[in-house]
A and B are shown apart, each in its own frame.
Chain A
């Protein structure tokens, strides 16, 4: 039982940053980031390569790269297209293009092989008669910290208010003196950092290779949709449902059917509650 709970939680912990990233961008820019998988794979490979001698340096460099890539994606793929009045589906295509470029970079800079990041906390702990890697627990704790931090940022600061305003109506926000464009860039930076964190989590627990980019993308998208796009609460809830669903499928049905399980959950949610399971009045409105 405890082993199941920890597996489900650590799967969720990897998904949480990815789902938050997708959800945030959808809220602020109206874009579904189809490049998410490319970001993750880049993160894993970069962290493994740059942190080969010193893990901490690798993590810091990768985080910085994530922030830069988020901003870059906005400036290269989204901003020019927005100015041209390209509709949402076109912007989504543009993120797909950016994701392909990232995959190319990952391949040429770091090679196409699966990359593994050495655990930040080596060793294992025993809880009852269940033994697990310390890293697994660390990832769960870090994901919870990230959620807390983002909650404070979005819900308790003026930055969060401004982001909400920009998400609702950038023109109106502009009339209140908010520099909408600047906050949109900020959202992409935060989102880039989040997705990079998710990629690093994944690389410390399992491995990440170019081939799994589409799979990670679908994890993130499905998690975001079942939780309800656009709220932090929904993102965490969606990630949790996806994590539990995948773990239970492995345990009780058949191993290796993660995507199928997610598709079934997604279809059910879209039929029963298309706005997402965790959207309620009040919370749904927050970024």
Chain B
């Protein structure tokens, strides 16, 4: 596999200025000095606290910055990691502030209880916003959430008791801790904030390095991949909304008790612009992005205070320059410098040579794949009967019936537009089926969400390989393991012993699969840097993580060299030896005849022939459909 094939033409941009993916979150590769990341933030907080406690102004700045960090981390979680441009985060922050104060004043609740309730309220509200907007793209989501933010502000502004109308709420009670009053602006309150910030920083670190972080990045980079490995994109999305809403609420509570006076006007459009600036300037999707962002913004605010009150001007220029100049923000730049200093530059891609490395994918699959379906185990059957898929008036798949059993390789061929990929999409629950039945061992798969089809044992690859470019090959495989392992997100974040065990097992399994495909040397390299042929193998390996009973391969040979194609053929053969049923869509006749037990020929949505390859290709109808020979 030493040769490299470029991306197929199908992947080239139809528009000249197709946007280049923003480089976010490059810093996921490895965290070698774990202890530094654990001890660092609390140490920083203590040092800052000790050095500023003598000076009222510095202490004020330090507390404000600490609270801003929590808010920025919340937006970094949802936008930087999850890629969701949620503009309602500022009003969520405000809601946290007002809710806690209202509970304390009206119901005489203690600060601590009020904080918990306020966080629950903001998390719930955040999830509520997420529900109706699940199908929207980035821009529409931005519009929807912005409209929501302004509408909520309008409603709240009319609720005098809650927000104090235009006057605001003042005389906010200070929290007390075993008899000590923690008054905003004094050292005691700084220490309260510091504890909260330390907890949030640790939470972010754990999210960053756990399966939750991988899922969020996958949600940002390719939701379809998530579904294809059995993880629900929808619930990942809700998790991102809920967590970030909770963090924004916490920031709001702290802010209210720090300022001791709040008004709705504080949570306005300019505050939103400042938050966007801090997040992106600091480095969206980087663990330390919010830290740098808050520091940079504090500097800009001091600058605008020192020069005049031209906050609009400074922010406006800041945003314009930022959009142009930053790739990964400050955190991205820092990471590049650190890499250079520690000599860990991006290593050249190691040569992959299957022949000499002794990596025979066929042997590999024989060795590890599908322990769940041992040879000689009960045969399973995937049956499609009279399936019909229509797009408007066009019938893409017209009463198609095919049957695949475990251990079989079934080819699906036909001219372009015959409905082959649509059929695969219908089987995996990607498109709506208009009629017919679809069963796995007699149980219907119709109406089941994509991720659940995968969990029942039907995996697939895509026509152009879909992997998460920002993750390493190892992490790409581990996403699939996360779905199968079953440690919930709380366990993953808490890093419970069980989660540690699952994480270790998943990692080992992923590594051994990569080794079997001769990709071990590249396990820690980003998928974005890999050639096409490697990505194809990664897709197959990712599916094997899930112990599938069936794999649907969509043109695995497309864009590969002759040699790579032989590897694919061997891989397919060994899949079937492991009793995995394979559906193979391809145009390469050699691949089809050498790999398949049976072949179905589709033309214009209908099956026109089926049987062993040699028989089928002898039929004149097939030749006419395929080669245009007169019948």
Residues of A at the B interface (CB closer than 8 Å) are: 32, 76-77, 80-94, 96-101, 103-104, 107-108, 169-171, 174, 213-215, 217-218, 221-222, 225, 256-260, 262-264, 266-267, 270-271, 274
Partner of A256, one of B19, B154, B273: B154
A100 lies within 8 A of B144 (CB):
no
**Contact A90-B147, Cβ < 8 Å, known A97-B315, A104-B310, A267-B132:** no
Complex-state Cα separation, A258 to B312, whole angstroms: 26
B85 lies within 8 A of A89 (CB):
yes
Using Cβ atoms and an 8 Å threshold, which residues of chain B touch A259?
Answer: 147, 150-151, 153-154
5 further A-B pairs in the complex, CB-CB below 8 A; given A85-B19, A218-B150, A267-B132: A86-B22, A98-B320, A100-B270, A100-B273, A259-B154
Complex-state Cα separation, A259 to B88, whole angstroms: 14
Using Cβ atoms and an 8 Å threshold, which residues of chain A touch B144?
Answer: 266-267, 270
- In this complex, what residue of B is CB-closest to A83? B17
**Contact A263-B151, Cβ < 8 Å, known A171-B16, A270-B132:** yes
Partner of A93, one of B133, B155, B269, B319: B319
A97 lies within 8 A of B150 (CB):
no
- Which of B18, B85, B151, B318 neighbours the largest number of chain A CB atoms within 10 Å of its CB? B151
A27: min CB distance to chain B, Å: 13
- In this complex, what residue of A is CB-closest to B268? A214
Using Cβ atoms and an 8 Å threshold, which residues of chain A touch B322?
Answer: 93, 97
**Contact A101-B313, Cβ < 8 Å, known A221-B143, A222-B143, A270-B132:** yes
Partner of A97, one of B133, B140, B148, B320: B320
- Which of B18, B19, B133 neighbours the largest number of chain A CB atoms within 10 Å of its CB? B19
Using Cβ atoms and an 8 Å threshold, which residues of chain B touch A271?
Answer: 132
Interface status of B505 (Cβ within 8 A of chain A): no
Using Cβ atoms and an 8 Å threshold, which residues of chain B touch A98?
Answer: 316, 320
B512: min CB distance to chain A, Å: 37
**Contact A221-B269, Cβ < 8 Å, known A76-B320, A85-B20, A259-B154:** no
Instruction: Give 1 or 0 for each of B347-387: 1 = CB within 8 Å of chain A CB.
Output: 00000000000000000000000000000000000000000
A20: min CB distance to chain B, Å: 16
A86 lies within 8 A of B150 (CB):
no
Complex-state Cα separation, A90 to B138, whole angstroms: 11
A223: min CB distance to chain B, Å: 11
A-B contact pairs, 8 of them (CB 8 A): A90-B323, A93-B322, A101-B312, A221-B143, A256-B154, A256-B158, A259-B153, A263-B147
**Contact A81-B147, Cβ < 8 Å, known A256-B154, A260-B155:** no
Chain B residues touching A, range: 35 or more
Using Cβ atoms and an 8 Å threshold, which residues of chain B touch A213?
Answer: 269
- In this complex, what residue of A is CB-closest to B154? A259
- In this complex, what residue of A is CB-closest to B17? A82
Complex-state Cα separation, A204 to B151, whole angstroms: 25
Using Cβ atoms and an 8 Å threshold, which residues of chain B touch A170?
Answer: 15-17
Complex-state Cα separation, A219 to B405, whole angstroms: 57
Complex-state Cα separation, A81 to B133, whole angstroms: 28
A96 lies within 8 A of B273 (CB):
yes
Question: DSSP majority for the A interface?
Answer: helix
Q: Which of B129-168 contact A (CB under 8 A)?
A: 132-133, 135-136, 138-140, 142-144, 146-148, 150-151, 153-155, 158
B133 lies within 8 A of A86 (CB):
no
Q: Which of B296-338 contact A (CB under 8 A)?
A: 310, 312-313, 315-320, 322-324
B313 lies within 8 A of A88 (CB):
no
B324 lies within 8 A of A86 (CB):
yes
Number of A-B contacts defined by CB within 8 Å:
141
Interface status of B627 (Cβ within 8 A of chain A): no
Using Cβ atoms and an 8 Å threshold, which residues of chain B touch A32?
Answer: 139, 142-143
Using Cβ atoms and an 8 Å threshold, which residues of chain B touch A97?
Answer: 315-320, 322-323
A208: min CB distance to chain B, Å: 15
A150: min CB distance to chain B, Å: 23
B312 lies within 8 A of A88 (CB):
no
- Which of B142, B310, B320 neighbours the largest number of chain A CB atoms within 10 Å of its CB? B320
- In this complex, what residue of A is CB-closest to B85? A89
Partner of B150, one of A100, A215, A256: A215
- In this complex, what residue of A is CB-closest to B313? A104
B17 lies within 8 A of A85 (CB):
yes
- In this complex, what residue of B is CB-closest to A31? B139
B180: min CB distance to chain A, Å: 41
Using Cβ atoms and an 8 Å threshold, which residues of chain B touch A260?
Answer: 151, 154-155
Using Cβ atoms and an 8 Å threshold, which residues of chain A touch B313?
Answer: 100-101, 104
Partner of B139, one of A76, A92, A94, A218: A92
Interface status of B276 (Cβ within 8 A of chain A): yes
**Contact A214-B269, Cβ < 8 Å, known A101-B312, A259-B154:** yes
Interface status of B179 (Cβ within 8 A of chain A): no
A100 lies within 8 A of B138 (CB):
no
Complex-state Cα separation, A225 to B145, whole angstroms: 13
- In this complex, what residue of B is CB-closest to A77? B320
A262 lies within 8 A of B21 (CB):
no
Using Cβ atoms and an 8 Å threshold, which residues of chain A touch B413?
Answer: none
Complex-state Cα separation, A237 to B138, whole angstroms: 24
Instruction: In the A-B complex, list the 4 residue pairs whose CB atoms are closest, starting with the nearest.
Output: A97-B319, A85-B20, A100-B316, A87-B19
B140 lies within 8 A of A91 (CB):
no
B166: min CB distance to chain A, Å: 12
B15 lies within 8 A of A81 (CB):
no
Partner of B20, one of A87, A91, A174, A214: A87
Using Cβ atoms and an 8 Å threshold, which residues of chain A touch B136?
Answer: 270, 274
A192: min CB distance to chain B, Å: 17
B312: min CB distance to chain A, Å: 4
Partner of A258, one of B133, B142, B154, B318: B154
Complex-state Cα separation, A107 to B322, whole angstroms: 23
B319 lies within 8 A of A96 (CB):
yes
Interface status of B572 (Cβ within 8 A of chain A): no
- In this complex, what residue of B is CB-closest to A214? B269
Complex-state Cα separation, A17 to B152, whole angstroms: 26
Complex-state Cα separation, A267 to B18, whole angstroms: 30
Using Cβ atoms and an 8 Å threshold, which residues of chain B touch A88?
Answer: 19, 138-139
Interface status of B280 (Cβ within 8 A of chain A): yes
- Which of B136, B155, B323 neighbours the largest number of chain A CB atoms within 10 Å of its CB? B323
- In this complex, what residue of A is CB-closest to B129? A267
Using Cβ atoms and an 8 Å threshold, which residues of chain A touch B85?
Answer: 89
B513: min CB distance to chain A, Å: 33
- In this complex, what residue of B is CB-closest to A210? B312
B268 lies within 8 A of A87 (CB):
no
Partner of A107, one of B312, B318, B323: B312
Complex-state Cα separation, A93 to B276, whole angstroms: 9
Interface status of B14 (Cβ within 8 A of chain A): yes
A87 lies within 8 A of B139 (CB):
no
A210: min CB distance to chain B, Å: 9
A257 lies within 8 A of B143 (CB):
no
- In this complex, what residue of A is CB-closest to B270? A100
A277: min CB distance to chain B, Å: 15
Complex-state Cα separation, A181 to B125, whole angstroms: 43
A103 lies within 8 A of B14 (CB):
no
B323 lies within 8 A of A86 (CB):
yes
- In this complex, what residue of B is CB-closest to A22? B143
A271: min CB distance to chain B, Å: 6
- In this complex, what residue of B is CB-closest to A32? B139
- In this complex, what residue of B is CB-closest to A101? B316
B466: min CB distance to chain A, Å: 19
A93 lies within 8 A of B280 (CB):
yes
Using Cβ atoms and an 8 Å threshold, which residues of chain A touch B142?
Answer: 32, 89, 92
- In this complex, what residue of B is CB-closest to A29? B17
B20: min CB distance to chain A, Å: 3
